[in-house]
Structure 1
Amino acid sequence: MHGEFPSLLGAGIVLLFIFYLGYLSLKIKFPNVILYILLGIVLADVLTDNELLYFASEIGIVLLFFLLGLEFNVKRLGGIAKKIWPSGLLDVGLSLGVSMLMAMAFGMSLFDSFLIGGIAYATSSSITAKLLDDRGRMANTETEFMLAILIFEDLVAPIVVAILIGVSSGETFTTASFLILIGKIVGLTAGAILLGKTVFKRFEKFLARIEDEDFKIALLVGIALSYGGLALYLGLSEVLGAFLAGMMLAEIGKIERVEHTVLPIRDLMLPTFFVYFGTTIKFGDGVPMGLFLVLLIIWSIIAKVLLGILGGPIYGLSKRASLRAGLSMCARGEFSVVIASVAVGSIKIFSGIYIVVAAFIGMLLFEKAPAITTKIYGKPERKKKNLKVPGS
């Protein structure tokens, strides 16, 4: 009977659960993303390999980063790239490098240590971007730095995944294959810049002539999915492709027209990504390497906080904004899941437990980041305005 359960009924039930949990999160003032992930964990046996849920989750994550990309035209992105690379390399050293050395100190092989380093490396782009949007922090001074780090990680993480998959499959990962991978990233980015400067330069006028919203939805979502899908076809991340698709359209004057059309679709589909993410977490029996797991989680938090404290000022942030940024980037997520899929045996169980714990702690730290920063540095002083009193 399990095989006869209609997918349509399952989709309807999942959406009703999403509505209820979203409503509940507002009442109890608890991050809805955590509740969505818990729902996925609870329904993991029922929703395992559910293609409909997977497809909806892909659309949700692609549209999230498509809308993020709209905020960064080529000129702004170029300026950010010049400023972010020192902090980006610091991130690689702290999160990937030190975690890898810790794993080797616990007697793991070079491959398993690199795998653990990869899992502990990338901040969850989807969780962080969703929380920034939900909590109204997109306009904060540290947000550009955080998004720049996420983009840097989205460029490095596919390289890590490619190396791991190449080695685990028995293929030799040569210098040539590494250069080909870099070439794909450069080519995809160059293509987005070229299309943005040519084809989409006059896109605003064309969009203004389309009165029917249905056609607009098909066009804009089609652009986002196509470039995200092209990135996947090239062996890269759909998140990177979607961001570049948004960047292409950022060249138009009024991005509000695009945002207004795409936002409802994103808001419907995005929660399904976190439900699907929950279904991929497999706990297994017991907790392998308990001491190392605790130490890795602690270091994962310290590494991102240090990234904020040390990397933020390099980028030009104040101490206050730097600490807030570091505390807000501790969640691990989708790239960690992709990397963990390469693992086997106890390492896979270890990875699953690490990801879900790190995701939860990271989201809670995001929520508390402003309060913790205020406790350490005090309330920010309001700038006094020189007001002249009449008759004085």
Structure 2
Amino acid sequence: MHAEGFPALLGAGLILIFIFYLGFLSLKIKIPSVILYILLGIVVADVIHESELLAFASEIGIVLLFFLLGLEFNVKRLGGIAKKIWPSGLLDVFLSLGVTTGIALLFNLDLFSSFLIGGIAYATSSSITAKLLDDRGRMANTETEFILAILIFEDLVAPIIVAILFGVSAGDHFNTFTFVILVGKILGLTLLAIILGKTLFKRFESFLDRIDDEDFKIALLIGIALAYGGLALFLGLSEVLGAFLAGMMLAEIGRIEKVEQTVFPVKDLMLPTFFIYFGTTIQLGDGVPMIGLLVIIILWSVIAKLLLGILGGPMYGISKRASLRAGLSLCSRGEFSVVIASVATGVLKVFSGLYILVAAFVGMLLFEQATNITNKVYGKPVKKKKKIKLPGS
């Protein structure tokens, strides 16, 4: 910590206590902890702004999040998801990323800033949506498979968006040659991950079984995640993409829970620091920037996801009723938007932070009212009466 006479160790301890309290509070008041962590960062920004300790912890947290996410996607599963969800997924990219970028361009923003805003508005919050589905008992609903498939598709696209934004922000100009080089690096890093997954890590599960000491497992698995994330940084890409690909490498093993149960506790400890650190970078002293654009982007964010549900749901094979309910349930923005917004600076950083906070609240409200709104549009579903066959009839 930078305050004179304020030990870094004391600051770290207080942050962890705040993380516990806010996590506990979020369960009581039913507000996603992500929002509370960002608000905490904004409040304590003057005390811990530019803290190297917090920045490093936050980087580890986000790397482990994407590492664990990558574990869910081996090459075979990626192919299976793509075959069924790609029409709806591409519609999502067009509506939430493409159109939003176009709206920002109409407000005379440059291409990079417009694409960054489009990226922030693109991805639904996987953590908020999945938690709400579980908490509200909707996991068995007709539309849930479609919602989860969209989240998976977005989980695959978001790291690529981050990698492109990260690479372009590190350079002087956005041009075709820069884009081609970036895509080449992404493809090369992905190909290397697939090759390593099919060769070096093919028998990784049996190797893990021979390691009795859990401490050694933690060092090895987190080391792999950080090293591949670091390799991505070395190539001028995002550590998020590298971590995701590191997870993909290990996804080829038979039982990924062996890796997850080792890494999850460290991720759960470190990840909240990422959202707190992001909050410390938001400076609200100059008021709300580009308020007209902010209002329009928030409105379009909701409309885009509604259209995704209404148009994309039937493409996936679900009813109009379930499609509308799905669209209303996909409006929350959260962790992926924060990751993409971390590339922003100055006014764009403030704009991004405010958008994420408002979009998360609006998304939660629409999720809670999804069933009621659907019933008002299509009427309450009629329960089919079971015919009881009487003896002798």
Question: Is the shorter-chain TM-score for this pair beyond 0.5, marking a shared fold?
Answer: yes
Seen in structure 2, the aligned counterparts of structure 1 residues 196 and 373 have a Cα distance that, compared at 3 Å, is farther
Trace 1:219-258 onto structure 2 (pairs within 5 A). Answer: 219-258=220-259
Partners in 2 of 1:59 and 1:104 — Cα distance?
34
- The 2-side partners of 1:193 and 1:373 are apart by 43
Distance 1:241 1:385 in 2: 54
* CA deviation after TM superposition for structure 1 residue 39, in Å: 0.9
Using a 3 Å threshold, how does the CA distance of structure 1 residues 313 and 195 change in structure 2: closer, same or farther?
farther
Q: Following TM superposition, by how much is the alpha carbon of 1:241 offset from its aligned partner in structure 2, in angstroms?
A: 1.9
Match of 2:117 in 1: 119
Q: Which residue of 2 aligns with 1:57?
A: 58
Give the direction of change, closer, same or farther, for the CA distance of 1:295–1:175 in structure 2 (3 Å limit): closer
Residues 9 and 150 (structure 1), Cα distance of their counterparts in 2 relative to 1, 3 Å cut? same
CA distance in 2, matches of 1:367, 1:39: 25
**Retained in 1: the 8 A contact 2:211–2:217?**
yes
d(CA) in 2 for partners of 1:267 and 1:29? 19
Residue 331 of structure 1 is matched in structure 2 by 333
The number of residues matched between the two structures is 382
In the other structure, the counterpart of 2:297 is 296
Give the superposition deviation at 1:119.
1.4
Instruction: Map 1:1-392; keep pairs closer than 5 Å.
Output: 2-106=3-107, 108-109=108-109, 111=110, 114-122=112-120, 127-129=125-127, 132=130, 136=134, 140-141=144-145, 142-163=147-168, 166=171, 169=172, 171=173, 173-316=174-317, 319=320, 322-326=323-327, 327-331=329-333, 333-341=337-345, 344=346, 349-366=350-367
Q: 1:2 aligns to what SS in structure 2?
A: coil
Q: Is the 8 A contact 2:61 2:271 kept in 1?
A: yes
**C-alpha separation between the residues in 2 aligned to 1:320 and 1:52?**
49
Give the Cα separation in 1 of the matches to 2:217 and 2:296.
Answer: 50
Superposed CA offset, 1:340-377 (max 9, x none): 22xx5x55544443343234434554565566557656
Q: How far does residue 188 in structure 1 lie from its aligned partner after superposition?
A: 1.3
Which one-letter code corresponds to 1:44 in the other structure? A
Query: What is the CA–CA distance in structure 2 between the aligned matches of 1:347 and 1:372, rounded to whole Å?
Result: 34
What TM-score do the two structures reach when normalised by structure 1? Answer: 0.83
Which stretch has the larger CA shift, 301-310 or 200-209? 301-310
CA 1:290–1:256: 2 relative to 1, 3 Å: closer
CA distance in 2, matches of 1:64, 1:387: 52
| Per-residue Cα deviation, 1:240-267 (whole angstroms, up to 9, x for no partner) | 2222212211211122211111111111
Q: Residues of 2 paired with 1:32 and 1:298: CA distance?
A: 24
Distance 1:235 1:291 in 2: 34
**Structure 2 vs 1, CA of residues 256 and 279 (structure 1 numbering), >3 Å: closer, same or farther?**
same
3-state SS in 2 of match to 1:53: helix
Deviation at 1:379, TM superposition (A): 7.7
**Distance of aligned partners of 1:336 and 1:16 in 2 relative to their CA distance in 1, 3 Å threshold:** same
Q: How many angstroms does 1:9 deviate by? A: 0.8
Q: Structure 2, unaligned stretches of length 5 or more?
A: none
User: What is the TM-score when the length of structure 2 is the normalising length?
Assistant: 0.83
Q: Aligned equivalents of 2:205 and 2:391: distance in 1?
A: 48
Shift of 1:323: 4.2
In the TM superposition, what is the alpha-carbon distance from 1:218 to its structure 2 partner?
Answer: 0.7
Q: What CA deviation, in whole Å up to 9, does each residue of 1:1-30 have, x standing for no partner?
A: 824421111110000011111122222233
For residues 384 and 32 of structure 1, do their structure 2 counterparts lie closer, same or farther at Cα, with a shift above 3 Å needed? farther
Give the counterpart letter for 2:219 in structure 1: A
Identity of aligned residues (%): 63
When residues 17 and 261 of structure 1 are mapped into structure 2, their CA distance, relative to the original with a 3 A threshold, is same
Tell me the distance in 2 between the aligned counterparts of 1:199 and 1:42.
Answer: 47
Contact map agreement 1:283 1:349 (CA 8 A) in 2: yes
2:251 corresponds to which letter in structure 1?
Answer: A
| Aligned-partner Cα distance in 1 for 2:93–2:206 | 43
Q: Take 2:234 and 2:120, find their aligned partners in 1: how far apart are those partners?
A: 22
Q: Distance in 2 between matches of 1:301 and 1:203?
A: 43
3-state SS of 1:340 partner: coil
Q: Secondary structure at the match of 2:253?
A: coil
* Partners of 1:320 and 1:377 within 8 A in 2: yes
Distance 1:3 1:118, change over 3 A: same
Does structure 1 retain, via aligned residues, the 8 Å contact 2:70–2:247?
A: yes
Moved more, 353-362 or 216-225: 353-362
Higher mean C-alpha deviation, range 291-300 or range 354-363 = 354-363
Q: Which amino acid aligns with 2:236?
A: G
Moved more, 207-216 or 149-158: 149-158
Change (3 A) 1:163 1:268: closer
- Whether the aligned pair in 2 keeps the contact of 1:330 and 1:361 (CA below 8 Å) is yes
Secondary structure at 2:254 match in 1: coil
Distance 1:104 1:264, change over 3 A: closer
Q: Give the whole-Å Cα distance in 2 for the aligned partners of 1:124 and 1:218.
A: 34
Aligned-partner residue type, residue 159 of structure 2? D
Which consecutive unaligned segments of at least 5 residues does structure 1 have? none
